[in-house]
Structure 1
Amino acid sequence: MYKVWNFVTNYSLLLIIGAVLALIWANTDAQSYHAFVEYPLAENFFIGHPHMDEAGHVHRTLTLHYLFNDVLMALFFAIAAKEVWEAVILKNGSLRGKKAATLIATLGGMLGPIVVYLGLAMVLGSDTYDAVKNGWAVPTATDIAFSYLVGRIVFGAGHPAVRFLLLLAIADDAAGLVILAIFYPTGELAVQWLLLSIAAAVLVFVLANWLPRKLDAGKEVRPTSTWVRQSLSYWPYLIAACISWYGFMRAGIHPALGLLPIVPTIPHADRAFGLFADAEQHLSDLLNDIEHKLKTPVEIILFFFGLLNAGVEFNAIGDPTWLVLGGLLIGKPVGILIMGALAAHVFRLGLPAGMRTIDLLVIGCVAAIGFTVSLFIASVAFDADTMLGSTPVQAAAKMGALFSFAAAIISIVAGKLCRVQKQSA
């Protein structure tokens, strides 16, 4: 349990503190809070929010919000991509082979919230539906750290449902990255700039990864690879990451995803040990070494992400709030239960030994904690000035993401009602 709590304090405690401070600030002095969020760091800069002047020329303003949401959160998503990449590609990876079959439940965990969110929006009328339809992906997210922590509280550290939940959350994050890239562009797709990102990834892989290994073929001491690792370290990948990020920004794809093409190019371990495994702390491959170095910066970034995004005034609670909550608290459990049961019994893929079908419902309740990624998607799905009546849609949707912490209490109650037998490690 200590390892999990240590992870949560490392990556999420500062995020919560930032979110709480934002809520207090926004509800005591909204004007100064929003002035802080949109504080201009640089006018007519080469990166930032684009706006057009009277002459039709595009200028960019780098604001505090843009710096953290679009630039620095790329480091957070790079860490998420690293975990997904290792789960898929490495020996014993969590999402490899037959172990991935039961994650058809993940599809239910995505489709269920979308159906509930859009279905309820249609019931509320065409005006509501038109105002909120672009936020269909907000309730699809699962917060890995908090869901894993709550899952261990509900099931116990040794229950097979906890590992199933972790696999589902990782796959959910992978799907979320794809959704962000495809469905939430920041502008019209400019393929030539996307090719720049791809070229940066290919070039750094060939020159700093593949070529040194090729030159060392048959040499036990691997002199070229050792020299590259010791002399160049992560610098080639940092340069490629900056180019890739800029390419994503200019291509019209959300730049927070700009480091994703670079992650697979970095030398990595031969096998995976798992997201919360002790062995991960002792791996010295370059990919894990970079993740270790990013630990403290990402903590600080998540604090400011919470501070700059969670400042919602309580009078902003409205229909989008309940739609996001409905998608998470109803759609997630029902979707995971239905698709998981189909995978296990109709497709005959089975469930992990010691896990019951009803446990899928409880897993779905735990997975309904959206928080971090739900907040992020809400910030890109809606313009800040979009209104539904007198309710700001973005703020109301963010409130739904914040309220998703109620899933923790619901999960504990569901565990009791479904008679979950806790199992220690």
Structure 2
Amino acid sequence: MYRVWGFLTDYSLLLILGALIALVWANIDYSSYHHFVEFKIWDHAPIGHLHDGHRTLTLHYLVNDVLMALFFAIAAKEVWEAVVLKNGSLRGKKAATPLFATAGGMFGPIGVYLGLALIMGSDTYNAVANGWAIPTATDIAFSYLVGRLVFGAGHPAVRFLLLLAIADDAAGLIILAIFYPSGDLAPQWLFVSFGAALAVFVFANWLPRRLDRGNQARPNSTAMRKLFGGLPYIIAGCISWYGFMRSGLHPALGLLPIVPAIPHADRAFGIFSQAETHLHDLLNVMEHALKYPVEVVLFFFGLCNAGVQLSSMGDATWLVLAGLIIGKPVGILIFGWVAAMPLKLGIPEGMRIIDLIVIGCVAAIGFTVSLFVASVAFEAGPVQDAAKMGALFSFGAAAISIIAGKVCRVEKRNL
């Protein structure tokens, strides 16, 4: 359990602190808070928001579009290892039912969100429709913690929940890239990003290993690591980020092409595995080096995005909450049942179908990624603020999960 609390301390508590400061500040003096968030760091900058034909680098842009790329790189690293490495959690038949449930955990919230918006009238629908992806997110760290509190550390539903959350993160990255561009699309710039990834993979990863074939001492790979460390990948990452920015895709995803190019471990141990802290492949070393910077980034992300006035609650707030709290459990239950029963893919031994309802309630904690999607789905204003309130209120799913666990008679199983 200490590993989970350690993860929360590392990546979530500062985020919550930043969000709480933002909420208090915005409700005491919204004008000064807005001035702080939109503070101009560099006018006529090479990067930043386009304004009157030139780019302006603001604090909000620096945090959301530049520094959050480090957070999404860590998420991408976990997804990549889960997919390609031996014992990766998203490989093989064991991942089939969780992947189906993940699809339900996305289509369910979308259906509830858009369906209720339609019922509320065309004006409401037109105003909020672009936020359909906000309730599809699942906050891995908090969902995992609540899952352990509800099911116990030894319950197979906890691993099922973690697989679902990792797959949800992967789908969320794809949704952000495809459906939420940051500007006019110029896909030719993606050649710059993927070209940088290919070049650094060939010259800093593949070629040294190729030259070391048959030599267990691996002199070329060792020399590359000692001389340059992660520098080639840092440079390639900067180039890739710039390519994403110019392509019109959200630049916070700009490091994603570089992650698969970095030398990685031979097998996956999992996001909360203590063993990962002892791995010395370059990908894990770079992730460990990002630990403290990402803590600070998440604090400022909370500070720059959670500052909404309590009076801003509106239709989008309740639609996001309904999508998460109703759509997630229903979607996960239906799709999980279809996979386990009619398709005969099964569920982990010791798990019941009814446990899928509780898993869905736990997965309804959207928070971090929901907050991020809300900030890119809508222009700054009342609808965005209302949607952010829904993302923040999704913490209430933790209490609902505990109640659902009692109602469904979940038997806690500790290790």
- Which TM-score band applies after superposition, normalised by the shorter structure? over 0.9
Q: Which of 83, 95, 98 is the equivalent residue of 2:93?
A: 98
1:55 is matched with none
Matched, 1:414 2:404: yes
Amino acid at match of 2:85: L
Counterparts of 2:257 and 2:171, CA distance in 1: 16
2:10 is matched with 10
- Would you identify which runs of 4 or more consecutive aligned residues in structure 1 move more than 2 Å? none
Matched, 1:226 2:222: yes
Question: What runs of 5+ residues in structure 2 fail to find an aligned partner?
Answer: none
Alignment of 1:304-319 (within 5 A): 304-319=300-315
What TM-score does the superposition give when structure 2 sets the normalisation length?
0.99
1:156 is matched with 152
1:196 is matched with 192
Query: Cα deviations across residues 56-80 of structure 1 (Å, max 9, x unaligned)?
Result: xx20000000000000000000000
1:37 is matched with 37
Amino acid at match of 1:248: F
Q: Which of 417, 421, 424 is the equivalent residue of 2:414?
A: 424
Amino acid at match of 2:194: I
Q: How many angstroms does 1:110 deviate by?
A: 0.3
Counterparts of 1:233 and 1:99, CA distance in 2: 36
Instruction: Tell me which moved more, 92-101 or 159-168.
Output: 92-101
Query: Cα deviations across residues 397-416 of structure 1 (Å, max 9, x unaligned)?
Result: 00000000000000000000
Counterparts of 1:369 and 1:340, CA distance in 2: 19
What TM-score does the superposition give when structure 1 sets the normalisation length?
0.97
1:389 is matched with none
Matched, 1:132 2:128: yes
Matched, 1:62 2:57: yes
Counterparts of 2:187 and 2:59, CA distance in 1: 28
1:393 is matched with 383
Q: How many angstroms does 1:381 deviate by?
A: 0.2
Amino acid at match of 2:68: M
SS in structure 1 at match of 2:154: coil
Amino acid at match of 1:30: Y
Number of aligned positions between the proteins? 414
Percentage identity across paired residues of the two chains: 74
Query: Cα deviations across residues 111-143 of structure 1 (Å, max 9, x unaligned)?
Result: 000000000000110000000000000000000
Query: Cα deviations across residues 40-63 of structure 1 (Å, max 9, x unaligned)?
Result: 0000000001012xxxxx200000
Amino acid at match of 2:410: V
Counterparts of 1:123 and 1:192, CA distance in 2: 41
Counterparts of 2:270 and 2:247, CA distance in 1: 34
Counterparts of 1:167 and 1:213, CA distance in 2: 32
SS in structure 1 at match of 2:298: helix
Q: How many angstroms does 1:191 deviate by?
A: 2.0
For the aligned residue pairs, the C-alpha RMSD in angstroms reads 0.5
Q: How many angstroms does 1:2 deviate by?
A: 1.0
Counterparts of 2:184 and 2:95, CA distance in 1: 35
Query: Cα deviations across residues 330-379 of structure 1 (Å, max 9, x unaligned)?
Result: 00000000000000001000000000000000000000000000000000
1:77 is matched with 72
SS in structure 2 at match of 1:405: helix
Counterparts of 1:99 and 1:8, CA distance in 2: 27
Counterparts of 1:254 and 1:11, CA distance in 2: 22
Instruction: Tell me which moved more, 93-102 or 32-41.
Output: 93-102
Counterparts of 2:207 and 2:94, CA distance in 1: 34
